[in-house]
A and B are shown apart, each in its own frame.
Chain A
Amino acid sequence: MGSSSSRLDRVPGAKDLMEETGFSETNILCLYDRFEVLDREERGYLRLEDFEAIQQLAVNPIGDRIIGAFVFPGRETLDFPSFVRVLAHFRPTDTTWSRSGSQPEPANSRTRKLRFAFSLYDQDGDGKISRAELTEMLQAMLGMQVTDEQLQSIVGRAIQEADLDRDGAISFDEFKKMAASGQTGLKSVSSIMYRTKQQQQQQQYICGEGGTEQVHLKHSCQTLMFIFC
C-alpha cells in the first residue's frame, strides 16, 4: 500500500489518466518510466527528435507516419498525458461496452482503432484515401524494390477492389470492409500483448450485428491491440 502509492505520486495526474484511459496502475508507471527514458534531456515533454532517436522506429518503412500520430504540426511537444492518450487506443477493446449502451465510445473501441489506422493512409485528413495517398503509402513500404509501373498497377488494383461507390477514393466505410476481408490468412495471435496479471483475456466481443464480417473485423483489430497487464 504505502510503497505503491508513493510511486504513483511521481506521475502527475495519474488517477485521472487511469480513469480516462482504463490503464492500470502498473501500466501507467511503466509508461511513465518509458516516457522519462525517451525524454533524454529531461524537458518534461517529448519532441520529434526524441522519437527519431529510436533506432527501431527509424528503420520502420512507415516510421515517420507513426511518429506523426504523436507529434504533428500544431502539437510539436508531447506531454505525458497526451502520450498515454494516444497509446490508449491500443488497449484491448472492452468486452462490456456495446454500441447501444449509454457510455461514450471509449478510445480503444474497434471503430476508433480502425479510424486511427485510416488516418495512417489519409494524411490530409479529408476522410478519403485518394489514389495519390495510397501511392505514397505503398512507396514508403516498398521503397526502391518495385518499378513505377508495378507500383501503379498495385495501386490501381487496390482502388478497384476497395472503391465500391466508384468515386476514385476509399472512404472509411470501404476501408472497414476491406480491412475485414483481408485477414483470412492472418493467424489470430497477432496482437500486441502486454503482460497480464490475470492470464489471457478472452476475446469476446459483444457483436451488435452478427456475421462473418464482424469476425474478420475482430481479427484485424487484434493486429492493432496491446493487451496491457
Chain B
Amino acid sequence: AEGAVAGAVFQVWVFVVLFLIMLPAMFGLSLGVTGVYIQVLVKILEWATVRIQRGRMEQPSVPVPLPNGIIERAGGSMEEEIGELRNSFALSDAFYFYKKGLESIVDDQVTQRFSSEELASWNLLTRTNQNFRYISLRLTIIWVLGVFVRYCILFPLRITLAIIGLSWLVIGTTLVGFLPENSVKTWLSELVHLTCYRICARGLSATIRYYNKENKPQKGGICVANHTTPIDVVILANDGCYAMVGQIHGGLMGVIQRSMVRSCPHVWFERSEMKDRHAVTSRLRAHVAAKTKLPILIFPEGTCINNTSVMMFKKGSFEIGGTIYPVAIKYDPRFGDAFWNSGKYNMVSYLLRMMTSWAIVVNVWYLPPMTLQDGEDAAHFASRVKSAIAHQGGLLDLDWDGGLKRGKVKDSFKEEQQKMYSSIIVGQNGINKDANRF
C-alpha cells in the first residue's frame, strides 16, 4: 500500500514537472501560475508591512531600519558651501573637505554597493535581518508558513527543475553538436538553449518583463548590461540567444561551458589568455566582424553590484567596435535579494538562497543601439552607455570603479576637486587681483 502511494505521488510529480512546466517552456508559453502566485504574495507582503508599521508604533524599542544610510547629507556642492567666486581664502574652507572626508569614512558610495539593499519594510524573510517576527503572533505564524512553503514545497520543485534544465542543456547541446553546420543546426541550437534557460528560470520562479523588444540585440552586435548576479545570464537568455564570454572553469561549470560551445560559438578564454587584453579584444573583434554570429553578452562592470547603482564600465568592451545594445536589468527586492555577495557566499549557497526566496521579479529594458561617435574615445563612450542604462533602470550613476579592490584611484578625480576649489578662491584669471588691498 505504501509503495502504491509513493508511486502515485511520483507520477503526479512527473506529470506536473513534464506537462505543466517543461513543455510550455519549450514553446515559450506560460500557464499563468507564477503570475497568480506573485499577486497573492504582494497582497500578503502589503498586509505584513501595515502590521509592522502598527507594531513599530506600539513597541518603540524595535530598531528602525535606515534605508538611505546613516548620514543625512544636507550639504550642497562646493560652491554652496564655500561660497561663490570670491577671490580669497578663508580658514574655514577646509571644513568643507573635512566634512566630505568624514562623511565618506562613515558611509561611502562604493562600499555600500557591495552589500544587499536594505528594505524599508520586511518581506517575511529573516535573512533581510530585521527581526520583525516578534511583533505579533499572526505575523509569526505567517512567517512560519512562509518558511514551510519556501523550503518544503518550492525548494524541491525548483531543485528538480534546475537539475533538469542543466542536464538538458548539456545533453541537448552535445547532441546538436554532432550535426553539420547548417541552418537546422542553428535553429535547433537556439531551441535547446532557450528551452533550458526557460526551465532554469522556472526553477527560480522568475517573472521577467521585457520592455522595448524592438531594440533587442541583433547578430554581430554587442549586448551590454549592468551586473548584479550570475543569474543575469539566465534572465537575458530567456528572450534571445547570446554568445557568452568568459573564463573556462573546471568542474561542473566547465562541463556545461564545453558542451555549450559545441552547438554555437561562445567565446571562452583560458585563464592565462584573460590577462592579455590585446588577445581578448582581437578574438572578440573577430567574432563581431563575422556578422552572422550571435551577439556577445558582456558585463562591463566586471563585478556584481547590488542593483542600486551602476558603477564604472570598463572601456575594454567598447574598443571592440560594432554596435552596442545596452540593456538595463532591475530586480524587485521585495521578493528576494538577487545580489551575489561573492565575499560572503559561494556560488552553491548563493543558489540555495535564491531557490528559497519567494521569487525573482525582474524588469529588463532594451535600449536603442549606440555606436562610437566621431572624436569620442572609448572611456567617454562607456560612460555615455552607462548613464543611459542607469537612467532607464532607475539606478544611481556612479563613476567609481567597482572592480578596484586595493588599487589606486585615478588622480584625475582629486584634480577635479582641486580645480573647482581653486576657481572659487583664485578665479579663472590667476593671481588674486586684490593683492594690493592692504
Contact = CB atoms under 8 A, between A and B. Distances in A.
Interface of A: 1-4, 7, 25-27, 29-31, 34, 37-38, 49, 51, 53-63, 66, 70, 87, 90, 117, 120-121, 137-138, 141-147, 149-150, 153-154, 157-158, 160, 162, 170, 175, 178-179, 182-183, 185-187, 189-197, 220, 223-224, 226-229
Contacts of A37: 111, 115
A55 B110 contact: yes
Nearest to A143: B418
B83 interface: yes
B68 to A, nearest CB: 7
15 contacts: A34-B106, A59-B413, A66-B98, A145-B419, A145-B422, A154-B89, A182-B93, A186-B92, A187-B80, A189-B76, A190-B76, A191-B75, A192-B75, A194-B70, A194-B71
Contacts of B64: 26, 197
B430 interface: yes
Contacts of B131: 3, 7
A87 B102 CA distance: 8
Contacts of B108: 54-57
A152 to B, nearest CB: 10
A136 B401 CA distance: 30
B422 A142 contact: yes
B70 A27 contact: yes
- The size bracket of the interface on B is 35 or more
Contacts of A145: 415, 418-419, 421-422, 426
Contact of B421 (A31, A51, A142, A149): A142
A138 to B, nearest CB: 7
Q: Which 6 A-B pairs have the closest CB atoms?
A: A182-B90, A143-B418, A56-B104, A145-B422, A66-B101, A59-B413
Tell me if B's interface is mostly helix, strand, loop or mixed: loop
Contacts of A197: 64
Contacts of A190: 74-76, 80-81, 96, 99
A179 B414 contact: no
Contacts of A186: 81, 83, 92
B91 interface: yes
Interface string B405-433: 01011000111011101100110001110
Contacts of B97: 60-62, 66, 141
Interface in B55-73: 59, 61-64, 66, 68, 70-73
B100 interface: yes
Nearest to A191: B74
Nearest to A49: B406
Contacts of A26: 63-64, 66
Given A3-B62, A4-B61, A117-B98, 18 more contacts: A54-B111, A55-B401, A57-B101, A57-B105, A60-B104, A66-B102, A143-B414, A145-B418, A145-B426, A153-B435, A157-B438, A170-B91, A182-B92, A191-B74, A192-B75, A195-B66, A196-B72, A223-B92
Name which of B59, B62, B74, B415 has the most chain A CB atoms within 10 A of its CB.
B74
A189 B75 contact: yes
A179 B91 contact: yes
B34 interface: no
Contact of B99 (A54, A137, A223): A223
B116 to A, nearest CB: 12
B94 A117 contact: yes
A121 to B, nearest CB: 7
Nearest to A175: B91
B147 to A, nearest CB: 18
Contacts of B76: 187, 189-190
B435 to A, nearest CB: 5
Contacts of A60: 97, 100-101, 104, 414, 417
B432 A56 contact: no
Given A37-B111, A175-B91, A189-B75, A226 B84 contact: no
